[in-house]
Amino acid sequence: MKITGAEIFVESLKKEGVEVLFGYPGGVIIPIFDTLYDEQKIRFVLARHEQAAAHAADGYARATGKAGVCIATSGPGATNLVTGIATAYMDSVPVVAFTGQVKTTMIGSDAFQEADITGITRPITKHNYLVKDVKDLARTIKEAFHIATTGRPGPVLVDIPVDVTMGSAEFAYPKQINLRGYKPNTDGHPLQIKKVAEAIRQARRPVIYAGGGIILSNASEELRTLAEKTSIPVTTTLLCLGGFPSDHPLSLGMPGMHGTQAANLALTECDLIVAVGARFDDRVTGKLDAFAPHARIAHLDIDPAAISKNVKVDIPVVGDARRTMEQLIAVVEPRKRNGWNDRVDAWKQEYPPTYVPSDAVIKPQYVVEQIYEATKNRETVISTEVGQNQMWAAQYYKFSRPRTLLSSGGLGTMGYGFPAAIGAQLGRPDAVVFDIAGDGSIQMNIQELATAVQERLSVNIAILNNGYLGMVRQWQDLFWNKRYSATDIEVAPDFVKLAEAYGAKGIRVTDPGKVREAIEEAIATDGPVILDFVVDREENVFPMVPAGKPISEMIGGLA
Amino acid sequence: MKKHTISALVENHFGVLASVAGLFSSRGFNIKSLSVGETEDPSISRMTIVAKGDDRILEQVMKQLNRLVDVIKVIDMTVQDYVDRELLLIKVSTSKAARSEIMEIVHVFRSRIVDISPSTMTVEVTGTEAKINAIIGMLRPFGIKEIARTGKVALLREVKG
Ligand SMILES: Cc1ncc(C[n+]2csc(CCOP(=O)(O)OP(=O)(O)O)c2C)c(N)n1
Ligand SMILES: [Mg+2]
């Protein structure tokens, strides 16, 4: 029996186990929405901007480990997805984005609401498709999910012209995938694994540098086993926070620009880096020439193109983070603590993250600490916006479980956190969800309050309200003679009234003594809450490595 | 900077050429020539790309090419033994007097005259880049009106038994 393209779309999604779909309708995509109208198994969540639909799909994916799915109409709907897709691409998040397209016969004619979205998204998707024949639709969807979720995950876009969704074909969801150009390696080469084990045996000052690949491949257990078997200190990047317990004795915390002194000194002094699922991003390495000058580098990564891209790798291992670490654990000799471990521990003691507390004004770091205290014994997901808020969340929330931090690392997208929190809450209904936000970033997707209210989601937004585009102001403060060009945003809405206008709850906090109680109130409240924490305006994030400097040269925050 | 000849077997779909070209351009890598055509399997095309660049960047580009779902196989011919050919069509101004001289050159280069008019001759040449450049050099004094070159195509040599 033949069914329509729109029906094939919905049936295919069900075959993929999709439970939530984020999106926004428009002309050419009406046939799909018409089919969704009667669909019971898939929960459709109407965002208020397509960018937010893409971020919500991303947040859902990061929080659950499943593919996140979003859909938008052609032209402006599709182009609005772009920032969300690029965000997912930079952080290797499995997102499948569907867009409507004008009729196949009108493609290329500058038709109403036509945009060449496969052309536009080519550099920011793992792969994309324009479906020209309804007979190819089911197979394309199957491939899209497969590509998005396997190997190094990433976003895949499927562009579907309206005559394809209106057309009809026999529906048989393919069982097999045949992609001769796509066969990701999962197991590491045994010989290379042996070389890593041997390098660990010889090393006197080893460090494990763990990245987002740990979370993506669910390898936290293996990371811990490897670290404990070899007593190697572990530094976890922003995208790996929670992938290794931050209170573990071997944990060094985050490396890089706003990382810990201990992690940066360890990377600088070490004689071996075992990098797993990380990509030597410039925010981590600082000045490349001065990065890890004494170290041999072993790099375990699923993506051959990530190896030796920024730094020359001595021992490459291509494979899945979990699998390759399993292989490594099996052959590596146990290693005992030595003087290096003592040195590293001394750095940790000497340079803990610190700030000057205050009774008079709320310190943003204090807010993060209090959110941690209030949520540490419950299932919690934290998302962040971008800027100082993001770094304070990374520094002061003690992440201990994977998939508890959602943050735009690679692209650094302001406006990511709130829709990502919505996605996370839908994927993990029992979790307490907080978006740690800046007053600038939150205004980039504030319209999603309507989505959260409509879906009755108890997402909490904690605005660290400094009246500034704080991180940019901090650079101006430190490196541009305090010339605060275009960073003062004190002209802002009253966030409490704004929350109320949307039918949510708003709480303003100006007294440090009231911080905790407001957080508890938000957690206890059904439905979305905005906590407007009016914080010390000119607080800076320390320690800090100035851009282009070696990571051993940190300024500020020294004990 | 070295010149590299890269051979890529790719799915014979629309959009593949754009992805491949995009990879080179987004990394500031200049393509010197590129030729695409079907292979013995009509669902697969072969792209032969000649590009100049730093070895490290080239290694990155090869890895990035391999990462594309529609790319089946990538070979850097330059590190192996291979044969390559290029096709040239060249239109030269001729006077009656010069014609026989041009025909002599054409003969020496084992090329062919494929079109002739009272004031021009069009010559077809296949060969290596060096040969193509040599004949262009020989014909230049007569006045070159137009040139079309295909860019290189290449295949690995079989190992001799
Ligand atoms: C979409 C986008 N535009 C611009 C930037 C550059 N940027 C980085 S941090 C920042 C300031 C963020 O301000 P706010 O959200 O108030 O956070 P704060 O740093 O004050 O905590 C800006 C403008 C960005 N990261 N993303
Ligand atoms: Mg701010």
- Confidence label for B26 from pLDDT (cuts 50, 70 and 90): confident
Q: Is A464 in the pocket of ligand 1 (CB under 6 A)?
A: yes
CA nearest to B8 within chain A? A181
B10 contacts A304? CB cut-off 8 A: no
Q: Is A389 in the pocket of ligand 1 (CB under 6 A)?
A: yes
Give the residues across from A380 on adjacent strands.
A432
Whole-structure pTM value: 0.96
Report how far residue B60's alpha carbon sits from residue B43's, in angstroms, rounded to the nearest whole number: 27
Of B80, B106, B122, the one marking the end of a domain is B80
Which residue range is the domain that position B96 belongs to?
83-156
In the reported structure, the alpha carbon of residue A471 is separated from the centroid of ligand 2 by a whole-number distance in angstroms of 8
Residue limits of CATH 3.40.50.1220 in chain A: 190-350
Report how far residue A431's alpha carbon sits from residue A529's, in angstroms, rounded to the nearest whole number: 15
B67 contacts A123? CB cut-off 8 A: no
Q: Is the domain of B11 the same as that of B68?
A: yes
Q: Is the domain of B69 the same as that of B106?
A: no
Mean pLDDT, chain B, integer: 92
Tens-digit pLDDT profile for residues A511-553: 999 999 999 999 999 999 999 999 999 999 999 999 999 999 9
Ramachandran angles phi, psi of A210, nearest 5°:
-105, 135
Whole-number pLDDT of residue A137: 98
Whole-number pLDDT of residue A559: 40
Whole-number pLDDT of residue B66: 94
Distance of CA A336 to the CA centre of its chain: 34
Spell out the SS3 assignment of A314-366.
CEEEECCHHHHHHHHHHHCCCCCCCHHHHHHHHHHHHCCCCCCCCCCCECHHH
Encoding tokens for residue A267?
Answer: 């990377």
Per DSSP, the three-state class of B161 is coil
Encoding tokens for residue B77?
Answer: 């011919």
Of B15, B47, B80, the one marking the end of a domain is B80
Starting from the CA of residue A473, give the closest ligand. 1
Of B54, B80, B106, the one marking the end of a domain is B80
Count CB-CB contacts under 10 A for residue A420: 37
Q: The domain spanning residue B104 has which CATH number?
A: 3.30.70.1150
Report how far residue B50's alpha carbon sits from residue B6's, in angstroms, rounded to the nearest whole number: 6
Q: Is A412 in the pocket of ligand 1 (CB under 6 A)?
A: yes
Report how far residue A325's alpha carbon sits from residue A315's, in angstroms, rounded to the nearest whole number: 14
Report how far residue B157's alpha carbon sits from residue B89's, in angstroms, rounded to the nearest whole number: 26
Q: Is the domain of B88 the same as that of B43?
A: no
> How many domains in chain B?
2
Residue limits of CATH 3.40.50.970 in chain A: 2-170, 364-534
Tens-digit pLDDT profile for residues B80-134: 899 999 999 999 999 888 999 999 999 999 999 999 999 999 999 999 999 999 9
Distance of CA A505 to the CA centre of its chain: 27
A118 contacts B11? CB cut-off 8 A: no
CA nearest to A181 within chain B? B72
- Chain A CB contacts of B64 under 8 Å are 305
Cβ atoms of residues A286 and A217 within 8 Å: no
Q: Name residues of chain A where pLDDT drops below 50.
A: 558-559
Asked whether residue B161 is domain-assigned, the answer is no
Report how far residue A214's alpha carbon sits from residue A244's, in angstroms, rounded to the nearest whole number: 9
Distances (CA, A) of A504 to A208, A493, A496: 44, 15, 9
- Please name the amino acid found at residue A459: V
Q: What is the CATH number of domain A190-350?
A: 3.40.50.1220
B66 contacts A122? CB cut-off 8 A: no
Q: Is the domain of B70 the same as that of B103?
A: no
Per DSSP, the three-state class of A3 is strand
Per DSSP, the three-state class of A107 is coil
A308 contacts B67? CB cut-off 8 A: no
Whole-number pLDDT of residue A557: 60
Asked whether residue B131 is domain-assigned, the answer is yes
Look at residue B160 and tell me whether its pLDDT is greater than 80: no
Q: Which residues are within 8 A (CB) of B53 and not within 5 positions of it... i.e. 6 or more apart? A: B1, B2, B4, B29, B30, B61
Query: Which run of H or E residues covers position B67?
Result: helix B55-67
Count CB-CB contacts under 10 A for residue A291: 22
Q: Determine the distance in angstroms separating the CA of A357 from the nearest CA of chain B, rounded to an integer.
A: 47
Which class for A367: exposed (0-12), middle (13-18), buried (19 or more C-beta within 10 A)?
buried
Which class for B72: exposed (0-12), middle (13-18), buried (19 or more C-beta within 10 A)?
buried
Encoding tokens for residue B139?
Answer: 């014909």
CATH number of A2-170, picked from 3.10.129.10, 3.40.50.1820, 3.40.50.970, 3.40.50.150: 3.40.50.970
Report how far residue A47's alpha carbon sits from residue A44's, in angstroms, rounded to the nearest whole number: 9
Q: Is the domain of B13 the same as that of B47?
A: yes
Q: Determine the distance in angstroms separating the CA of A129 from the nearest CA of chain B, rounded to an integer.
A: 9
Answer positive or negative: Cα dihedral of A13, A19, A22, A26.
Answer: positive
Report how far residue B61's alpha carbon sits from residue B35's, in angstroms, rounded to the nearest whole number: 17
Architecture of domain A364-534: 3-Layer(aba) Sandwich (3.40)
CA nearest to A146 within chain B? B69
Whole-number pLDDT of residue B28: 76
Report how far residue A530's alpha carbon sits from residue A499's, in angstroms, rounded to the nearest whole number: 6
Q: Is A539 in the pocket of ligand 1 (CB under 6 A)?
A: no
Q: Is the domain of B76 the same as that of B106?
A: no
Q: The domain spanning residue B60 has which CATH number?
A: 3.30.70.260
